[in-house]
Amino acid sequence: MGGEGDHMEVAVETVTDNTLEQTHSSRTLDAVLVLSRICLGWYMFIAGWDKVQGELDGGLGSFFAGNGWQRRAEILPGALSLILGHAWPWLEMFSGFFLFAGLRTRVMAGVIAWIVLSIGIALLFTGELLPRHHTMVMVPFALLLCVLGPGPYSLDGLIRGRTAR
Q: Taking CA 43 as the corner, what is the angle to CA 42 and CA 45, rounded to the nearest 5 degrees?
A: 60
Sign of CA dihedral 117, 123, 128, 131: positive
- Which pLDDT does position 114 carry in this prediction? 94
Q: Model confidence at 139, in pLDDT bands (50, 70, 90)?
A: very high
Predicted confidence (pLDDT) per residue in 21-59, tens digit: 555 578 899 999 999 999 999 999 999 999 999 888 988
* Alpha-carbon 137 to chain mean position: 11
> What distance in Å separates the CA atoms of residue 109 and residue 144, rounded to the nearest whole number?
8
Q: What are the extents of the domains in the chain?
A: 2-164
Q: Please tell me the pTM assigned to this model.
A: 0.78
- Residue 66 carries which DSSP code? S
- Which pLDDT does position 67 carry in this prediction? 66
110 within 8 A of 142, measured Cβ to Cβ: yes
* Alpha-carbon 126 to chain mean position: 25
Q: Model confidence at 4, in pLDDT bands (50, 70, 90)?
A: low
What are the b/e assignments for 97-126, b being 16+ CB within 10 Å?
bbbbbbbbbeebbbbbbebbebbbebbeee
pLDDT, average across residues 128-138: 86
> What distance in Å separates the CA atoms of residue 33 and residue 155, rounded to the nearest whole number?
13
pLDDT, average across residues 61-69: 75
Mean pLDDT of the chain: 82
Most confident of 40-44, 66-70, 153-157: 40-44
- Which pLDDT does position 85 carry in this prediction? 82
